[in-house]
């Protein structure tokens, strides 16, 4: 197939989870013989932080102004076999209207932010990247979230078909590696700053760090305010490029997974970081949310501490043998169902059913 994707970014992983999600899926689709074009707005904050400017698995088409370049950008899809419009694509509403009018292949909406989208649809009837009135026009609505959200997307907002389409992990990149001293620590966290999960990060990591002053803790990710008060043994990494993620996870005794409030409320929303850490054999501590057990089994493949005191006990009290065994079980579970190859096959099936 020839597949055209209109998405937030594939060239820069700075401050977003979309890039690694797209890279994993598109690489697998290319490996299976498909041709991919990725359309991305050329914005300054990604232009200044491009860690994959020329992907080997797709052709990137950058643009500056949709209104001025619409004819060229839509023409890319006229001979496509499938088109994806992704959440947070900068001109998604205008692009979708043009695509509905001019292309004949399935046009699918890929929501990598379903809980946020649904909240805004309920409150305002749409978002900056999706007009609720457009939903019935998409051939399918691919949702980052499963569970009750799928029924709501169909019954309340009129989607022809809402399908769970989780993030995925590329096992060629994400796998256990040798420990690197620069990342070695008792507990790590990788994620962009978000105000609605910062309280959990301060409780579960920073509080635990205060109880264990001889241990090293690491928080990697951009946009954290300078006003935050970290304990002295918490180190910050402003941006960690994706090639360093496997070593980061493999060098942490434990790693922390935290979920944004909208995702917790919706449930059934596993982050790409959860799959990536699992694929690296990391021992994961996580907050709890509905549907988590469909992806990892608490007590066997993931641990769910309620507070910093429990984190401190887990970090210091669990044997190396059990920690390693828990990470191996999580890796086995994720590789059995959530690799990029699994998701590419699912995408092929969805498109064939839409055609």
Same domain flag for 194 and 161:
no
- Residue 162, in any domain of the structure: yes
- Residue 174, in any domain of the structure: no
- Residue 194: how many CB atoms within 10 A of its CB? 16
Instruction: Say which residue the tokens 């409150």 belong to.
Output: 123
- Residue 239: what pLDDT? 87
pTM exceeding the 0.85 threshold for the entire prediction: yes
Instruction: Check which CATH number belongs to the domain holding 142 and give it.
Output: 3.40.50.2000
Same domain flag for 74 and 197:
no
Query: Cβ contacts of residue 124 below 8 Å, gap of 6+?
Result: none
- Residue 298: what pLDDT? 98
Same domain flag for 8 and 156:
yes
Which range marks the domain in which residue 252 is found? 185-335
- Residue 57, in any domain of the structure: yes
- Residue 178, in any domain of the structure: no
> Element (H or E) spanning 214, and its range?
none
- Residue 15, in any domain of the structure: yes
Same domain flag for 34 and 148:
yes
Same domain flag for 318 and 344:
no
Query: Cβ contacts of residue 214 below 8 Å, gap of 6+?
Result: 233
- Residue 226, in any domain of the structure: yes
Distance between CA atoms of 237 and 221, rounded to whole angstroms?
6
- Residue 118: what pLDDT? 97
Distance between CA atoms of 317 and 314, rounded to whole angstroms?
5
Nearest to 333 by CA among 269, 258, 285, 277: 277
Q: How many domains does the chain have?
A: 2
Same domain flag for 314 and 345:
no
Same domain flag for 345 and 331:
no
The structure tokens listed for 237 are: 């990494």
Same domain flag for 192 and 330:
yes
Contact between 26 and 16 under an 8 Å Cβ cutoff? The reply is no
Distance between CA atoms of 101 and 114, rounded to whole angstroms?
25
Query: Cβ contacts of residue 347 below 8 Å, gap of 6+?
Result: 25, 29, 165
Same domain flag for 159 and 193:
no
- Residue 179, in any domain of the structure: no
- Residue 29: what pLDDT? 98
- Residue 173, in any domain of the structure: no
- C-alpha count within 13 angstroms, C-beta hemisphere, residue 244: 17
Distance between CA atoms of 51 and 243, rounded to whole angstroms?
9
Instruction: Say which residue the tokens 């996870």 belong to.
Output: 249
Query: Cβ contacts of residue 217 below 8 Å, gap of 6+?
Result: 185, 186, 187, 188, 205, 206, 208, 209, 231, 233, 234, 235
Which phi and psi angles does 302 have, rounded to 5°?
Answer: -160, 150
Same domain flag for 109 and 231:
no
- Residue 14: what pLDDT? 85
- Residues found in the chain: 355
Same domain flag for 317 and 345:
no
pLDDT along the chain (355 residues), means of 10: 98 90 97 98 93 96 98 98 98 98 97 97 97 98 97 98 97 96 98 96 98 98 95 96 95 97 95 96 98 97 98 97 98 98 98 93
Same domain flag for 275 and 304:
yes
Which phi and psi angles does 9 have, rounded to 5°?
Answer: -165, 145
């Amino acid at each position: 197939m020839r597949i055209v994707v209109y998405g937030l970014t594939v060239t820069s992983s700075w401050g977003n989870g979309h890039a690694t999600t797209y890279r994993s899926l598109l690489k697998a689709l290319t490996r299976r013989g498909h041709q991919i074009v990725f359309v991305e707005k050329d914005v300054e904050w990604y232009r200044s932080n491009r860690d994959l400017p020329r992907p080997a698995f797709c052709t990137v088409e950058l643009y500056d102004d949709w209104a001025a370049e619409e004819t060229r950008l839509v023409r890319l899809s006229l001979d496509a076999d499938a088109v994806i419009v992704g959440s947070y694509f900068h001109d998604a509403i205008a692009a979708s209207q043009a695509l509905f009018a001019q292309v004949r292949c399935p046009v699918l909406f890929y929501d990598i932010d379903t809980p946020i989208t649904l909240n805004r649809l309920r409150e305002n009837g749409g978002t900056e990247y999706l007009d609720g009135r457009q939903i019935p026009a998409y051939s399918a609505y691919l949702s980052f979230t499963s569970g009750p959200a799928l029924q709501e997307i169909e019954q309340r907002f009129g989607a022809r078909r809402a399908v769970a389409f989780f993030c995925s992990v590329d096992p060629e990149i994400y796998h256990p590696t040798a420990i690197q001293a620069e990342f070695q620590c008792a507990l790590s966290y990788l994620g962009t700053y978000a105000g609605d999960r910062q309280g959990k990060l301060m409780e579960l990591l920073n509080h635990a760090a205060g109880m264990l002053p001889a241990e090293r803790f690491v928080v990697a990710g951009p946009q954290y305010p300078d006003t935050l008060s970290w304990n002295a043994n918490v180190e910050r990494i402003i941006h960690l490029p994706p090639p360093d993620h496997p070593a980061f996870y493999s060098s942490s005794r434990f790693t922390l997974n935290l979920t944004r409030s909208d995702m917790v409320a919706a449930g059934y929303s596993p982050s790409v970081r959860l799959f990536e850490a699992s694929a690296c054999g990391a021992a994961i501590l996580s907050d709890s949310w509905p549907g988590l057990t469909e992806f990892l089994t608490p007590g066997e493949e993931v641990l769910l501490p309620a507070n910093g005191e429990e984190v401190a006990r887990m970090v210091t009290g669990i044997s190396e043998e059990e920690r390693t065994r828990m990470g191996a079980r999580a890796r086995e579970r994720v590789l059995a169902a959530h690799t990029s190859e699994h998701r590419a096959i699912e995408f092929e099936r969805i498109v064939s059913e839409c055609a």
